[in-house]
Amino acid sequence: MPRFAANLTFLFTELPFLERFGAAKAAGFDAVEVLFPYDFAAQEMRARLVEHDLAFVLQNTPPPNWAGGDRGFAAVPGSEARFRTDFDRCLRYAGVLKPQHIHVMAGRAQGAVARAAYLRNLRWACARAPGTTLTIEPLNGGDMPGYFLNDFAQAAEILDEVGAPNLGLQFDAYHAQILTEDVAGAWETYGHRAVHVQIAGVPGRHEPRGGAVDWPGFFAAVDRSGYAGWVSAEYNPEASTTEGLGWLAAARG
């Protein structure tokens, strides 16, 4: 059975942010992730992680908040200085929070110039943080119009070209199903590259149950593959978070 983590940017939002850590633990999660933790004091978050014995799985490189604005700058030509400043800010937070992974967001861009900028910035970031696992994640164009990294084959090519041992694939089953219409096939082809997995139901990005994905089959495939990382719940609950956690109990048998 996979090990499940809770994305506190999406889950338990009925609670103030710092109370979500305890709620996640009480609901049966042993790890959490936060997309953009930069609006909160890192030491306060670290205290909650320690208090509730939670692993911290992942944070994204800035932008600084989830409310709006750009979704990263790694592939945006001319934004190298902004990317590097933001990446160093991310590393300062990571020094306190100790995430297992940092997701390097590509941003909205396209074309060969953007690809070259992305490769340069990823190589720089991997060298800048050699002891940290960085991730890249293909996102579907419906949720993220214009996002540079929008295909799994493209992601595989980027990983091979960068060739850094501390760069891996962030496999989001929600985006994979929308992009390929075959999340099982996408996992079979690209799952060996995955260092982190996220889940949400399709359609709707709600609880991972029913819909277009055979969730028991997907979880079984993840187990069979030997993947040993976390599977993070990154979805919008249809009601309160705790009311919708039947999928977690079912996955655990």
* 3-251 fold: TIM Barrel (3.20.20)
The single residue of 80, 181, 234, 243 carrying the catalytic annotation is 234
Neighbours of 88 (CB within 10 A): 12
Question: Which of 80, 137, 161, 243 is labelled catalytic?
Answer: 137
Q: What is the pLDDT of residue 152?
A: 98
**How much is the pLDDT for 68?**
59
Is 137 assigned a catalytic role? yes
Residues 191-215: tens digit of each pLDDT: 999 999 999 999 999 999 999 999 9
- Known catalytic residue at 181: no
Average predicted confidence (pLDDT) for the chain: 96
pLDDT at res. 62: 85
Written as six digits, the tokens of 157 are 């090519």
pLDDT band, very low/low/confident/very high, at 167 (cuts 50, 70, 90): very high
**pLDDT, tens digit, for every residue of 88-141?**
999 999 999 999 999 999 999 999 999 999 999 999 999 999 999 999 999 999
Query: Which residues are paired to 198 by β-bridges?
Result: 172, 232
For 36-103, the DSSP string reads -GGGS-HHHHHHHHHHTT-EE-EEEPPPS-SSSS--B-TTSTT-HHHHHHHHHHHHHHHHHH--SEEE
In what helix (H) or strand (E) does residue 55 lie, and over which residues does it extend? strand 55-56
Give me the pLDDT at residue 64, please: 56
Provide the whole-model pTM: 0.97
pLDDT digits (tens, 9 = 90+) for 51-86: 999 999 999 998 755 555 677 999 999 999 999 999
Cα–Cα distances (Å) from 105 to 81, 129, 131, 251, in that order, read 15, 16, 19, 30
When pLDDT is cut at 50, 70 and 90, the band that residue 253 belongs to is confident
> Distances in Å between the alpha carbon of 199 and those of 16, 66, 163?
23, 18, 27
Distance separating alpha carbons of residues 102 and 238, to the nearest angstrom: 28
* C-alpha neighbours within 13 Å on the C-beta side of residue 225: 23
| Residue-level pLDDT at 1 | 81
User: At 56, which helix (H) or strand (E)?
Assistant: strand 55-56
Assess whether pLDDT exceeds 90 at residue 242: yes
**Residues across the chain:** 253
